Structure 1
Amino acid sequence: MTALVRLKETNEGRVRGLGISAANALQLLALLEGHPIVSIGFVTKKLGVSRSTASGLVQRFVDLGILVQRGEKQRYRTFAYEDYLAILREDAEPLE
């Protein structure tokens, strides 16, 4: 089993435990596979949820260690799916 598949299965199990927001959480997890760096506004738009719902989901992912906030600023924050990016970096060829 590849590292990406293991990561997906592990994180799916973690977000299923979120209860009522599990459906949105699974959608966010799927979104992160194509867009591993997101903002609250991006999540709001792509999932079709309110800004408050998107913010809560992203915060839960941060609390679970799935997402990491990039930088220190409070406005226009971005969050990265670092474990996913780390796996991609391992297999990447250096640019010449």
Structure 2
Amino acid sequence: MIRMILKNSGVKTTYIDPANGIETENGLSTLMNSLELISLLGENLCFEIKTLFTDSKGFNLRNNIAHGLLDDAHAVTSGSVYAWFLILRMIIKSIENNVAHQI
């Protein structure tokens, strides 16, 4: 979702490895450091996403899920529930924005 928001705003979300010329998509941690993203989503929402998904001092859910480190006990913590709500809120807002643009 973050990559789509940036791409739709004309922000480059890839980098080209100078050694072999291969273009690779930037990861979420790199995308979250984009100044353009802060202007698009706002500082508060960017902080929430970083804290929940990418910051090792926060919940770091993306890393824990991707590497199989999220056990059942941590899957129902306040951070996981908050992340679920945040994603749901972002999806509903994107639907509302699409409907508003179609009217």
Smaller-chain TM-score bracket? 0.3 to 0.5
Higher relative contact order (CA 8 A, sep 6+): 1
Larger radius of gyration between Structure 1 and Structure 2: 2
Give the TM-score, by structure 2 length.
Answer: 0.35
